[in-house]
């Protein structure tokens, strides 16, 4: 749409501008932009490499009361053609969770958990199991890298979509 220097369309009448403003107000009330949208987009775009597979979420099951981990536990599975990640998220307290995870096929890969507070990296064992004992609640993302000793040189194998822990 062509706009004049003042930011308005030269073909709009004052009534058109009023109507457009009223429509914008309706959308702000009925379907507002989420307050965390910009933060989530910046978080998702912050990865330095584009040569990796993005995993798809397959399952998000809340475990019933009495199951190990208590009422506030859930299991999430991410899947792609090359890798599957299953994580169990258990509440530690109102500020933190514990993440137990498994990679299939198993391998001693580096598993990086990205959060708003920064990244933490652990190494999965030869069975593909990894644990992140104290993780702050909030927006996070898992990144799986090749099992090299130097995380800076390890290529990214797969990335999960952002999720709220």
Q: What is the DSSP string of 22-50?
A: HHHHHHHHHSPPPTTHHHHHHHHH--S--
Cβ within 8 Å of residue 107, ≥6 positions away: 124, 126, 128, 147
Range of the structural domain that residue 118 is part of = 40-164
Q: Do 47 and 79 fall within a single domain?
A: yes
Both 67 and 115 in a single domain?
yes
Total number of domains in the chain: 2
The verdict on 10 and 47 lying in the same domain is: no
Same domain, residue pair 65 and 129: yes
60 contacts: CB under 8 Å, gap ≥ 6:
74, 75, 76
End-to-end CA distance of the chain: 42
Shared domain for 9 and 87, answered yes or no, is no
One domain, residues 91 and 65 = yes
pLDDT string in tens for the chain (165-residue length) = 444 455 556 688 999 889 989 998 888 888 887 777 776 666 665 555 455 666 677 656 555 544 444 457 889 999 888 889 999 999 999 999 999 999 999 999 999 999 888 889 999 999 999 999 999 998 899 999 887 766 667 788 888 888 888
Tell whether 126 and 157 lie within a shared domain: yes
Contact 158, 55 (CB under 8 A): yes
> Do 81 and 18 lie in a common domain?
no
Q: What is the pTM of this model?
A: 0.64
């Amino acid at each position: 749409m062509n706009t004049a220097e003042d930011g308005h369309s030269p073909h709009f009448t004052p009534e058109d501008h009023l109507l457009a403003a009223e429509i914008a107000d309706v959308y702000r009330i009925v379907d507002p932009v989420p307050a965390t949208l910009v933060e989530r987009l910046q978080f998702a775009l912050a990865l330095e490499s584009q040569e990796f597979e993005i995993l798809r979420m397959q399952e998000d099951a809340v475990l019933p009361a009495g199951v190990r981990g208590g009422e506030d536990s859930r299991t999430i599975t991410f899947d792609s053609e090359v890798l599957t990640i299953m994580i169990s998220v258990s509440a530690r307290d109102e500020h933190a969770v514990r993440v137990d995870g498994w990679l299939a096929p198993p391998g001693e890969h580096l598993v990086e958990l990205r959060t708003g507070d920064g990244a933490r990296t652990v190494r999965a064992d030869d069975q593909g199991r990894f644990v992140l004992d104290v993780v702050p609640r909030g927006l996070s993302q898992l990144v799986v890298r090749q099992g090299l000793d130097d995380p800076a040189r390890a290529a990214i194998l797969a990335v999960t979509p952002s999720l709220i822990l």
